[in-house]
Amino acid sequence: MKFLDLCKVYIRSGSGGGGAVSFRREKYIEYGGPDGGDGGKGGSVWAEAVEGLNTLIDFRYQQHWFADNGRPGMGQNRTGPSGDDIVLKVPAGTEILDEDEETVIADLVNVGDRVLLARGGNGGFGNLHFKTSTNQAPRHANPGQPGVDRTLWLRLKLIADVGLLGLPNAGKSTFLAATSNARPKIADYPFTTLHPNLGVVGIDNTEFVVADIPGLIEGAHEGRGIGDRFLGHVERCAVLLHLVDGTVDDPAADYRTIITELEAYGGDLATKPRITVLNKIDALDDELTEMQRAEVAEASGGEVMVMSGVSGQGVPEVLRALRRVIDTERRAERPDGGEDTPWHP
């Protein structure tokens, strides 16, 4: 299935049906009077987050979503049928933006979240509503209210616990493939990952979701390379896993490049909990590994772990560190602080 995380849709709610102008005419009733019914209500347009979706590709092939119109009223005081609502089923984590692509109308984070995008028009009153003591045979009725036309943008931000960061060929896809059932493309050239990948990682009888996004390069916030358009997929993560290639000449410079791009992107990505790991140590001896780790630690000002996604060396320790941060962050998000019951995804 092709991945799509941004698309434009055109929606229209249904118009209300017009009221009826009708008079009761029966053989043995001398004064029948008006009996025109009301028009039916137009259908509304909703958006709902559902399970089983992780892309907006369905909206690439169907961009127009129009609800049904209400039917006109009828004689004998019969109300016209209402138009059916339509529901745009989107993945959890979808933001709905106005036409300017900046104003957030709704953020459907959890499965079951639902929002009304366009309300259907009310049906018009039939002539029975206009009967008075001085006007006992009204010959007019109201038209139905028109529907609402809107142009909206859908933007998906994947829901994951861990977000992978790093330059191209830092070993992110290899790490994801080695620790989960995900099968991202892996090759020895840059930008093998062209769209985000999700994998479920297990450690010590606990599972969490890891998101791998295309690698960043210097100037990504200005559109270089694939740019920073995929960084939105790690905004919701509890922790970021920053992988640094240990086989390069200056790993500290690689580390600073990614941090600079995070700061230029804005938001709280630069301050989000982050674990820094020196990767590919299977290609280094112990002395060189320690030297490279020390350089990255000096640049980051914090602890730097080491691992090899290929050989598996140090991977369990990294996964346990990630799980501890996830537990802490998810408990902090709970209203009661989550002190008694540990978090499980």
Residues in the chain, overall count? 345
Consult the annotation and say whether 226 binds a ligand: no
Known binder of ligand: residue 75? no
Q: Is 191 annotated among the ligand-binding residues?
A: yes
pLDDT reported for residue 1: 47
Annotated binding-site residue? 282: yes
156 is in an annotated binding site: no
Q: Closest by alpha carbon to 230, among 322, 156, 167?
A: 156
Please calculate the CA angle 268-229-100 and round it to the nearest 5 degrees.
90
52 is in an annotated binding site: no
Q: Is 310 annotated as a binding residue?
A: yes
Q: How far is CA 306 from the centre of its chain?
A: 33
29 annotated as ligand-binding: no
Q: Is 205 annotated as a binding residue?
A: no
- Residue 82 marked ligand-binding: no
Judge whether 258 is annotated as a binding position: no
Q: Residue 143, annotated ligand binder?
A: no
> Residue 341's pLDDT is what?
44
172 is in an annotated binding site: yes
Question: Is residue 166 annotated as involved in ligand binding?
Answer: yes
167 is in an annotated binding site: yes
Does 55 appear as a known binding residue? Answer: no
Is 19 labelled as part of a ligand binding site? no
Give the pLDDT confidence score for residue 344 in this predicted structure: 43
Q: 246 among the known binding-site residues?
A: no
> Could you tell me which CATH class the domain 162-333 is placed in?
alpha beta
- 214: annotated binding-site residue? yes
Question: Does the annotation flag 240 for ligand binding?
Answer: no
Has 345 been labeled as part of a binding site?
A: no
Interatomic CA distance for residues 279 and 290, integer angstroms: 12
Per-residue pLDDT tens digits of the chain, which is 345 residues long: 467 888 999 999 999 999 999 998 887 777 788 999 999 999 999 999 998 887 888 898 899 999 999 999 999 889 999 999 999 999 988 999 999 988 999 999 889 999 999 999 999 999 998 998 888 889 999 999 999 999 999 998 887 888 888 888 888 888 888 888 767 666 555 566 666 777 888 888 888 888 888 877 777 766 676 667 778 778 888 899 999 998 888 989 999 988 888 888 877 778 888 999 999 898 888 899 899 999 999 988 889 999 988 888 899 999 999 999 988 887 776 655 555 444 443
How are strands ordered across the β-sheet holding 94-97? 64-66, 6-12, 149-156, 94-97, 104-108
Which residues are bridge partners to 241 per DSSP? 164, 275
- CATH fold of 1-156 reads Spo0b-associated Gtp-binding Protein; Chain: A, (2.70.210)
What string of H, E and C letters represents the secondary structure of the chain?
CCCCCEEEEEEECCCCCCCCCCECCCCCCCCCCECCCCCCCCCCEEEEEECCCCCCCHHHHCCEEECCCCCCCECCCECCCCCCCEEEEEECCEEEECCCCCCEEEEECCCCCEEEEECCCCCCCCHHHHCCCCCCCCCCCCCCCCCCEEEEEEEECCCCCEEEECCCCCCHHHHHHHHCCCCCCCCCCCCCCCCCEEEEEEECCEEEEEEECCCCCCCHHHCCCCCCCCHHHHCCCCEEEEEEECCCCCHHHHHHHHHHHHHHHCCCHHHCCEEEEEECHHHCCHHHHHHHHHHHHHHHCCCEEECCCCCCCCHHHHHHHHHHHHHHHHHHHCCCCCCCCCCCC
Domain locations along the chain: 1-156, 162-333
Q: Is 327 annotated as a binding residue?
A: no
* Sheet containing strand 304-306, strands side by side: 197-203, 206-212, 162-165, 239-245, 274-279, 304-306
> Is 168 a known ligand-binding residue?
yes
Tell me whether residue 279 is annotated as binding: yes
For residue 14, which of 117, 114, 98 has the smallest C-alpha distance?
Answer: 117
The pLDDT of residue 102 is 86
Q: Are 166 and 242 in contact (CB under 8 A)?
A: yes
- Residue 230: phi and psi, rounded to 5, are -90, -5
Instruction: Tell me what pLDDT residue 342 has.
Output: 46
